Structure 1
Amino acid sequence: MLALVLDDAEMNNLVMAASLRPLAGCVPQAFTVPAEALGFAQAHASEIGVVITDYEMPGMNGIEFIRAVRRVPGLAHVPTVMVTSHDQRSLRREALEAGATDFLTKPADAVEIRARVTNLLALSEAHRAQRDHAAQLAREVAAAVALVEEREREIVSTLMRAAEHRDSDTGDHIARVSAYVGLIAEAMGLSAADVRQISLAATMHDVGKIAVPDAILLKPGALTPEERRVMEQHADRGQRILGGSASPVMRLAADIAGSHHERWDGAGYPYGLKGEAIPLSGRIVAVADVFDALTTQRPYKQAWSPERARAHLAENAGSHFDPRVVDAFLSRWSQIQTFLHLGLDGHRIATAA
């Protein structure tokens, strides 16, 4: 390890370096100018095991230098020794507050220097080992989390492929809704991890439709009131299918499945929830789901233009939709227009109507 030595007197540096050279694995690097020593520290932070600085120096004293060293990335915890001929308690207290680890009083003999520095280098090595171990654990945890997330994506993909066998439009619809949900979540300030999770969970918002009879699910015309009641049961059934899981993404998907047809004014289904009683995830998916339903052609309707669908969202903010979610969606309008223009696999989704 490197021992960074700073003293404005060249002779003092020679004495300190000579005292340190017998230590195995310790390579002294001496400087007489604080700015040069600090530049070296910034360039070699990962190699420095101990810093030894004089107190009285022109331009920057030892305490100021220690403060500067502590601000260098990677040197916040490196052992630091201040060498001084002063024995004032106030000076030592100030040095400790600045980040000094130990002190040497001039004139210090070679035996004392080596004993102190040997202990401090061992402390530095232990800290590096602990830091490296923590970094390795963090990498292992990240790998484990990534594996769990990949398994969850596989489960979701399998579940959605089952749903696609019922309705050929389902696959494209859930992909688009997931994309819109991601844009809304980002605009609302959710973390990157939460954006990924809600985007994945949103793909399962209509999983309850696997319990809806084909005669109703695939009916080309308008539904009768009784058929409408059966169709609306898909929200509650979706929540029941997904509920009870220990997986965070499945629990989130259950919330979405059961709440994405609720309305801000309380007139939605299946539970008649109102305002912020509706899970935020459900409020986000509600906007994405309706926008996609409006801008795509269905057996019973033509596709609306993006501008007409946008106007519908704006007009119904505060009644059907959470106004904040609508604002977030519209704040990403340029990205949405690009997505609408290219669509899935480069094909246009919406047509003017």
Structure 2
Amino acid sequence: MSERKFRILVVDDEPHNRTLLRLSLQNLGYEIVEAENALKAFEVLNRDVDLVLTDVMMPEIDGFEMVRRIRANSETSDIPVIMVTTLSKKQDRITAIEAGANDFICKPVDILELKVRVKSMIKQKEQQDEIKNFASELNHMIEDKTAQLRKAIVELDHAHKESILHLCNAAEYKDEETAAHILRMSNYSALLAHELKLDREEVELIRISSPMHDVGKIGIPDSILLKPGPLDSNEWNIMKTHPVIGAKILGRSNSKYVNMGAIIAESHHEKWDGSGYPHGLSGENIPLPGRICAIADVFDALTSKRPYKEAFSTEVALPIMQEGKGVHFDPHILGVFFDNLDKIIEIKTKYSDL
């Protein structure tokens, strides 16, 4: 947790009310800024303020309108607001919620209630700030890595393909995967593409590009990527950004392989029924390469050791794959997968981690 002193803006036209709140909150360790009305409040309100405590009935601009203006300003829109009021009618509370208030405290103020509600809102603001800071740092890191990777991947010859392979190795190394995983993923995907009667060039394109599916994991913190147990909701939301990160790293290239890698990276976690991510695409709205690689990726994930699980046997993995028919996976492509199961197992055996 941060050790900085949290800053609270107290807005009330009655001096004794401001004094009561200031003394109570200072005793709890907060830094207090006072304003006698909304106009004065707007003069000092900025990103350094962690919470606003405001009265409702004030001259010129009442508390409802003040909250509306706070929410309309992009610089202050996410600052929590607690309304301190004598108003008790249901419609007044509805108006406050519609304006954007986060919570209420009734006058006369109970100090224990004040402490609990303020602490809750400060915690919410601190978490929001941590997420924003992480997102900003991540964007800078992605920009740096994108510039480096685009500089390295500039040709379509053998050296170009080799660069792509090294890029995939870098992403898989961060995820504690192996070179064998890249080879299995590439060959599973190419086999399915071939059996779906795609032309030779498209099969080769998918073979070369499919290992780039998880390149976006370069942008995921190791504490999340390598966590041995289940991810919490915040960690999972961060993990689910890796398809978009991958597409951003690979996007708008002059290479058909890298462009295909961007498509696969962004779409391989979409699901046939629309419950996947990052865009909730469904059915044939999901690009075909993404639908192909989803099956290859899940099968390899099930039958490989990961930080959070041991490898499943083929006998355990196949029923799980079958359960995904029409839910996770394109039913037709999954049928092709099972029709060619002997070739799938041959690839798995040939490129074993052992």
Task: Name the CA distance, whole Å, in 2 between partners of 1:154 and 1:343.
Answer: 19
- Alignment TM-score, normalising by the size of structure 1: 0.54
Indicate the SS of the match to 1:320. coil
Residue 207 of structure 2 is aligned to residue 202 of structure 1: no
Higher CA-based Rg: 1
2:189 is matched with which residue? 181
1:135 is matched with which residue? none
Q: Is the 8 A contact 2:183 2:351 kept in 1?
A: no
Task: Name the CA distance, whole Å, in 1 between partners of 2:181 and 2:349.
Answer: 16
- Alignment TM-score, normalising by the size of structure 2: 0.54
Q: After the TM superposition, which residues 23-42 of structure 1 pair with which residues of structure 2 at under 5 Å, given as runs? A: none
**Residues 1:234 and 1:246: Cα distance change in structure 2 (over 3 Å):** same
Of 168, 177, 190 in structure 1, the residue corresponding to residue 198 of structure 2 is 190
Q: Which runs of 5+ in 1 are unaligned?
A: 1-146, 349-353
Aligned Cα root-mean-square deviation (Å): 1.6
Task: Name the CA distance, whole Å, in 2 between partners of 1:258 and 1:303.
Answer: 26
1:105 is matched with which residue? none
1:343 Cα deviation from its structure 2 partner: 3.0
Of 204, 228, 231 in structure 2, the residue corresponding to residue 223 of structure 1 is 231
**Residues 1:149 and 1:307: Cα distance change in structure 2 (over 3 Å):** farther
1:304 Cα deviation from its structure 2 partner: 1.4
2:166 is matched with which residue? 158
1:277 is matched with which residue? 285
Amino acid of the structure 2 residue aligned with 1:321 = F
Of 257, 266, 270 in structure 2, the residue corresponding to residue 258 of structure 1 is 266
1:164 Cα deviation from its structure 2 partner: 4.1
Amino acid of the structure 2 residue aligned with 1:272 = G
Q: Is the 8 A contact 1:163 1:170 kept in 2?
A: no
Indicate the SS of the match to 2:279. coil
Q: After the TM superposition, which residues 77-226 of structure 1 pair with which residues of structure 2 at under 5 Å, given as runs? A: 148-226=156-234
Indicate the SS of the match to 2:240. helix
Q: Percent identity over the alignment?
A: 45
More deviation in 255-264 or 240-249? 240-249
Task: Name the CA distance, whole Å, in 2 between partners of 1:265 and 1:330.
Answer: 20
1:341 Cα deviation from its structure 2 partner: 3.1
**Residues 1:340 and 1:154: Cα distance change in structure 2 (over 3 Å):** closer
1:165 Cα deviation from its structure 2 partner: 4.2
Aligned residues: 200
More deviation in 263-272 or 161-170? 161-170
Task: Name the CA distance, whole Å, in 1 between partners of 2:349 and 2:170.
Answer: 29
Task: Name the CA distance, whole Å, in 1 between partners of 2:278 and 2:208.
Answer: 23
Amino acid of the structure 1 residue aligned with 2:288 = L
Task: Name the CA distance, whole Å, in 1 between partners of 2:254 and 2:350.
Answer: 37
Of 292, 314, 318 in structure 2, the residue corresponding to residue 310 of structure 1 is 318
Residue 298 of structure 2 is aligned to residue 290 of structure 1: yes
Q: Is the 8 A contact 1:220 1:300 kept in 2?
A: yes
1:273 Cα deviation from its structure 2 partner: 0.5
1:79 is matched with which residue? none
Task: Name the CA distance, whole Å, in 2 between partners of 1:152 and 1:266.
Answer: 35
1:316 Cα deviation from its structure 2 partner: 1.3
Task: Name the CA distance, whole Å, in 2 between partners of 1:309 and 1:337.
Answer: 12
**Residues 1:284 and 1:273: Cα distance change in structure 2 (over 3 Å):** same
Amino acid of the structure 2 residue aligned with 1:294 = L
**Residues 1:252 and 1:342: Cα distance change in structure 2 (over 3 Å):** closer
Amino acid of the structure 2 residue aligned with 1:305 = S
